[in-house]
Amino acid sequence: MIEKISSASSKDLEGITSLNQGLQQISSVVQANSATAEQSAAASEELTGQANKMNELVERFRLKEE
């Protein structure tokens, strides 16, 4: 009886260890995705600012009417 309990406990421990490793991998992926999203948002803001500045500069030019 004690051997069965010990064996079951060992199997449970293996399962918990596997589950823990899987959760750690998921956590790493979520953190990487979050960092990428933050970088994308920052790049988007930068590009929006540059586009606005470009529009301001282009508005200064006028074409001659013929």
Which residue is associated with the tokens 């260890």?
A: 17
In the chain the first and final C-alpha atoms are separated, in Å, by 102
Give residue-wise pLDDT tens across range 51-65.
999 999 998 887 777
pTM: 0.63
pLDDT-derived band of residue 8, with 50, 70 and 90 as boundaries? confident
62 φ/ψ sector (left φ>0, alpha ψ -120 to 50, else beta): beta
Structure tokens at 7: 């064996």
DSSP letter assigned to residue 17: H
Q: What is the pLDDT of residue 51?
A: 98
